[in-house]
Structure 1
Amino acid sequence: MSLLAVVISYLIGSIPFGFLLARLLKGIDIREHGSGNIGATNVWRTLGPVPGLAVLLLDMGKGVAAVMLGRQLGGAETELLAALGVLCGHSWPVFLSFRGGKIIATGAGVVLAVSPVTVLVALAVWLITVGISRYVSLGSMLAAISVPVTMAVLKMGGAYILFGVLLAIFAIYKHRPNIKRIMDGTEFKVGKGRRD
């Protein structure tokens, strides 16, 4: 059942909502615009807030759906394996030649399903960081780092904390280009034009 949950979750994660919505609304390949990413942030910057918010909610929904599926097919271990599956699907979608998003929205959906308190803390970290630095990417990375810390404070158990650590590492890895641009001073800042 665990393997089935992982495979189905990977396929769920592979559904490229950002790509599909950009095709539907504007007839464009979102990968050829802005940062080239299929996630909510690039859709927001390229198509506007309404499509961006729609992609955010849909990508979060993938994370929630995967955890719920894993929970139905098994216990805590299965739901966490399903969570990893959906994150891998979003990041390396089979439907887009394995070129996907940065897992932040889908990861938020996963954490929401696993621990609503943890996702609220992560949201607060994101809002504070973006409010001070105006870097969405930095806010996303720090929010991801807050996940295992909050899970540890909540004493959620070793498996969940380990998952949180993997999520944070995964998020930082996917943001390598953003880290370089932050260090170079060329990273997009909220309110400073359109560039990721």
Structure 2
Amino acid sequence: MIFLLGVCSYFIGSIPFSYLIPRWIGKIDIRRHGSGNTGTTNVVRTLGLKVGVLAFLGDFLKGVIPALIGLLWLGELGGVVGGALAVIGHCHPVWLKFKGGKGVATSAGILLVLFPDIVVILVVVQALIIGFTRYMSLASIISAVLLPILAIVFSKSTLFILFSFLLAIYVIFRHRSNLKRLINGTETKLNFKKK
């Protein structure tokens, strides 16, 4: 059961919405623009907020669906396995030679299912950081750092706390190049002007 859930979750997570939507709407290969990353932030920077929101929704839902199915089917362990494999699928999609996004939108979908109380706080934190700095990467890194802390504060189960630590480490690792650019002052800010 767990194996089947994991395989299905990986393939759901590997659907590259942030690649497909720019292909359909903008007629571009997002990998050849901006940072070259197939994630929401690069879509926003390249094609604007409206297209970026569509890409985000696709990537978000592919976190929600496996985590929710896993949680309802096999409890906490199922939710964690479904969520974890969805993020791995997003970041390493078989369809794009295992080169995908950085996992933030898909993680947000998972957190909505597994940590609905915590996700509200993280959304507010992200919105404030993006609003004041326009650095999506900084908002994502800080949210990742806060996730396991909040999981402990909100007295989540041992399994959920462990998952929150591993997810945070993975998301921060995926943002290592952004972190270097933030330290060097060369990170690109989000521009919300219409394209």
Q: TM-score, normalised by structure 1?
A: 0.94
Number of equivalences: 193
CA contact (8 A) 1:68 1:79 kept: yes
Over residues 150-182 of structure 1, what are the superposed CA-to-partner deviations in whole Å (9 max), with x where a residue is unaligned? Answer: 111111111001111111101110001101111
Paired position in structure 2 for 1:91? 91
In 2, the alpha carbon distance for the partners of 1:34 and 1:137 equals 14
Matched-pair contact (CA < 8 Å) for 1:12–1:89 = yes
Task: Give me the whole-angstrom Cα distance separating, in 2, the residues matched to 1:45 and 1:60.
Answer: 18
Q: 1:106-117, aligned counterparts within 5 Å?
A: 106-117=106-117
Using the alignment, how far apart are the partners of 2:86 and 2:164 within structure 1? Answer: 14
Change (3 A) 1:188 1:69: same
SS class of match (1:101): coil
Distance in 2 of aligned mates of 1:48 and 1:192: 7
1:191 CA displacement: 4.5
Q: Which whole-Å deviations, capped at 9, do the CAs of 1:174-196 have from their partners, x for residues lacking one?
A: 00110111111110123499xxx
Find the counterpart in structure 2 of residue 123 from structure 1: 123
Name which of structure 1's ranges 123-132 and 11-20 shifts more when overlaid on structure 2.
123-132
Instruction: Give the Cα separation in 1 of the matches to 2:55 and 2:63.
Output: 13
* Equivalent pair of 1:2/1:73 in contact (CA under 8 Å): no
| Percentage identity across paired residues of the two chains | 42
Residue 52 in structure 1 maps to residue 60 in structure 2: no
SS at match of 1:74: helix
Give, in whole Å, the separation in 1 of the partners of 2:99 and 2:35: 13
RMSD: 1.5
> For residue 89 of structure 2, what is the amino acid of its counterpart?
G
Measure how far apart 1:26 and its partner are.
2.1
Q: Tell me what 1:81 maps to.
A: 81
Cα pair 1:5 1:73 within 8 Å, conserved: no
Distance of 1:50 and 1:135 partners within structure 2: 18
Corresponding residue number in structure 2 for 1:24: 24
Distance across 1 between alignment mates of 2:93 and 2:69: 19
* Contact residue 45 and residue 190 of structure 2 kept, 8 A: no
Q: 3-state SS of the aligned residue for 2:187?
A: coil
Q: Which amino acid aligns with 1:11?
A: F
Superposed, which structure 2 residues align to 1:155-166 within 5 Å? Answer: 155-166=155-166
CA distance in 1, matches of 2:31, 2:191: 22
Give unmatched runs, 5+ long, in structure 2: none
**Length-normalised TM-score, structure 2:** 0.94
Q: Kindly provide the CA deviation profile for residues 38-61 of structure 1, in whole angstroms up to 9, marking residues without a partner as x.
A: 111111111111110011111110
* Counterpart code for 2:74: G
- The unaligned stretches of length 5 or more in structure 1 are none
